[in-house]
């Protein structure tokens, strides 16, 4: 015998009925909620419309702000800028553009403002370059100078050339230059030149190196004021020259100059070796600080120096040092 099957659809309908059934208190709460929401619907709709209007106005302001840069790019590319129509939110349709025809009238390029120059059909970058040229102190005096503004097109220069007002900026005509010949030097100056050239000693002349002053030294060929002063200063520091070969110790002094001098007498000024102070010893060109200290230590420990050979026991002195010092030291 077959068992009866359970009535599942009937149970589902009962469960659904229990779920959708509202009691009296629940129905009253729903009614009150609907009464509160119905007046708020117009207010929500009004807020939505205001938000959409604000978005449209912001989009229009953005389009207007970008129009200048868009027009500048179009003009830089060689196209004519067009003004946008009123923005309308119409899906993906783009705004329409209207062309502006350039005007032609008389103007002063040195005083016209940017709006006047734009009315004449000049591109923004040309207007900017013209204003910068004027701000830097430049003045347009000829149509050629106006056409030379950076970025100026040839057709714009030809179209606006007859409209330029440049009468107030014309330069006065330049006076022709007359060739001038230099005036001849005065007779006294000419005579001084020949006298100065003749003041040099003839070739082969020799003078005493210890007796010549700067005027005599400058009469030697190859010696000027600078070399003459150096020779005299070094002679004072040494106490006198003992040989013309000592000129080689001076910087930038040619060896050929030694043939123009001789030494008739030994140095007239000597340095007392046993009584000179440290400062006096250091003034001599042939003594350095270590040698001067050695001389003072020898005098303090061993007494007066009787001969230069006594200094050879010290490593500070050599045979060449003593040979150079011998004419300038006394005991």
Q: Measuring CA to CA, how many Å separate 218 from each of 79, 199, 229, 243, 280?
A: 81, 9, 10, 19, 31
Residue 7: inside a domain, yes or no?
Answer: no
Residue 141: inside a domain, yes or no?
Answer: yes
> Tokens for 250?
């001076």
CATH number, domain at 216? Answer: 1.10.150
Q: What's phi and psi for 89, nearest 5 deg?
A: -75, 95
Residues 150, 200, single domain; the answer is: no
Residue 54: inside a domain, yes or no?
Answer: no
Domain count of the chain?
3
pTM flag (> 0.95): no
Residues 290, 258, single domain; the answer is: no
Residues 207, 256, single domain; the answer is: yes
* Residues spanned by the domain of 243: 195-262
Residues 224, 201, single domain; the answer is: yes
Determine whether 265 is exposed, middle or buried from the number of CB atoms within 10 Å of its CB (0-12, 13-18, 19+).
exposed
Residues 201, 254, single domain; the answer is: yes
> Tokens for 6?
């359970």
What does the pLDDT read at residue 14? 65
| pLDDT by position in tens, the chain (length 331) | 555 555 555 566 666 666 666 677 878 888 888 888 788 777 777 777 777 666 666 655 555 555 554 554 455 555 555 544 444 444 444 444 444 688 888 889 998 998 999 999 899 999 999 999 999 988 988 888 899 999 899 899 888 988 888 877 766 666 666 666 666 656 555 555 544 554 889 988 999 999 999 999 999 988 999 999 999 999 998 889 999 999 999 988 899 999 999 998 888 788 898 999 999 999 999 999 999 999 999 999 999 999 888 898 999 999 999 899 988 888 8
Sign of CA dihedral 224, 226, 231, 236: positive
Residues 251, 291, single domain; the answer is: no
Residues 286, 309, single domain; the answer is: yes
Residue 37: inside a domain, yes or no?
Answer: no
Residues 290, 252, single domain; the answer is: no
Residues 258, 275, single domain; the answer is: no
Residue 161: inside a domain, yes or no?
Answer: yes
Residue 51: inside a domain, yes or no?
Answer: no
């Amino acid at each position: 015998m077959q068992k009866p099957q359970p009535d599942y659809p009937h149970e589902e309908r009962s469960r659904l009925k229990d779920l959708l059934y509202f009691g009296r208190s629940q129905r009253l709460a729903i009614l009150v909620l609907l009464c509160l929401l119905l007046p708020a619907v117009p207010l929500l709709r009004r807020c939505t419309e205001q938000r959409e209007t604000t978005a449209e106005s912001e989009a229009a302001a953005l389009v207007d702000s970008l129009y200048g840069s868009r027009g500048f790019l179009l003009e830089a590319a060689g196209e004519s800028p067009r003004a946008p129509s009123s923005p309308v939110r119409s899906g993906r349709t783009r705004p329409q553009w209207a062309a502006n025809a350039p005007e032609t009238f008389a103007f002063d390029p040195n005083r016209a403002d940017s709006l006047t120059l734009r009315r004449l059909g000049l591109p923004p970058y040309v207007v900017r370059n013209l204003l910068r040229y004027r701000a830097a102190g430049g003045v347009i005096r000829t149509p050629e100078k106006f056409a030379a503004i950076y970025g100026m097109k040839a057709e714009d220069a030809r179209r606006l050339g007859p409209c330029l007002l440049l009468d107030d900026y014309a330069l006065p005509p330049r006076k022709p230059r007359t060739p001038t010949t230099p005036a001849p030097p005065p007779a006294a100056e000419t005579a001084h030149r020949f006298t100065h050239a003749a003041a040099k000693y003839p070739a082969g002349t020799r003078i005493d190196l210890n007796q010549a002053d700067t005027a005599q030294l400058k009469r030697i060929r190859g010696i000027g004021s600078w070399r003459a002063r150096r020779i005299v200063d070094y002679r004072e520091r040494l106490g006198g020259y003992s040989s013309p070969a000592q000129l080689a110790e001076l910087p930038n002094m040619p060896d050929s100059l030694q043939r123009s001098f001789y030494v008739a007498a030994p140095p007239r000024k000597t340095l007392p070796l046993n009584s000179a102070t440290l400062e006096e010893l250091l003034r001599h060109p042939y003594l350095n600080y270590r040698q001067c200290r050695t001389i003072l230590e020898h005098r303090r420990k061993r007494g007066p120096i009787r001969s230069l050979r006594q200094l050879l026991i010290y490593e500070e002195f050599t045979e060449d040092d003593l040979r150079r010092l011998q004419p300038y030291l006394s005991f």
